[in-house]
Amino acid sequence: MAQPEEIVDAAVLKAMAHPLRRRIMAELRKAPASSTTLAAALGENTGSTSYHLRELAKHGFIEDEPSLGKGKERWWRAIKRDLRYPRRSEQSPELAAALDELNNAQLAEDFQTWSRFQAASHTMGTWGDAVPYSRGSMVVTQDELREFFEDYLALIKRYWRDDAPADAREVLLRFIAFPKPE
């Protein structure tokens, strides 16, 4: 099981925020791939995908999958990581700016994905009904909020697996909590 890693290097966040790298990571979370198969799937050239694969590997997001490569062909797979970030008040201006850029990109992708789901949900059978949703609030201390978040992450990790049953689907989870502005 992946242990929590605190990211304090803005370069790592910038590597994560790059649009093509985000698309590559999405593909590699589905299955291992080579630069050639990724280029075909993403409508890019192999030189570009090869470069971005090396950058992702440099920052520990992917690793070589030698069992699939033939000859000089190199295959890659995503690495499951539990990434954390320092408190906002402890971030350097560069780290805060890089995290803001990453968060904005991720939220925009989330809204686009939600819109695609809503448009397609009527064609998804019972999966179109599988939308556990809750909107609420709680009154907690900062320590209790940290504990709540750790419990949430532990629950998600219970379901991390590489051997999903045939009837399983990837389900996207998004969690955000913030103090109510007075």
CA dihedral for 13, 173, 23, 109, sign (positive or negative): negative
**Whole-structure pTM value:** 0.79
How much is the pLDDT for 55?
95
Cross-strand pairs, 76: 33, 64
Say if 10 falls within a structural domain. yes
Q: What is the pLDDT of residues 62-107, one digit of tens each?
A: 999 988 878 788 999 999 999 999 999 999 999 999 999 999 999 9
Rounded to whole angstroms, the Cα distance separating 19 from 4 reads 25
In a domain, 104, yes or no: yes
pLDDT tens digit sequence for 120-179: 999 999 999 999 888 899 999 999 999 999 999 999 999 988 788 999 998 988 888 878
Domain of 46, CATH number, reads 1.10.10.10
The closest of 178, 170, 171 to 149, measured between CA atoms, is: 178
Assigned domain for 170 exists: no
Q: Which of 23, 31, 48, 43 is nearest to 112 (CA)?
A: 23
**Residues pairing with 62 in the sheet:** 78
Residue 13 contacts residue 98 (beta carbons within 8 Å): yes
- Name the residue range of residue 127's domain: 4-131
Looking at the structure of the chain, the number of domains it has is 1
Neighbours of 152 (CB within 10 A): 13
At 179 the pLDDT is 84
In the chain, DSSP assigns E strands to: 4-6, 33-34, 62-64, 75-78, 82-84
* CB < 8 Å & 24+ apart, contacts of 111-120: 113/172
Length of the chain: 182
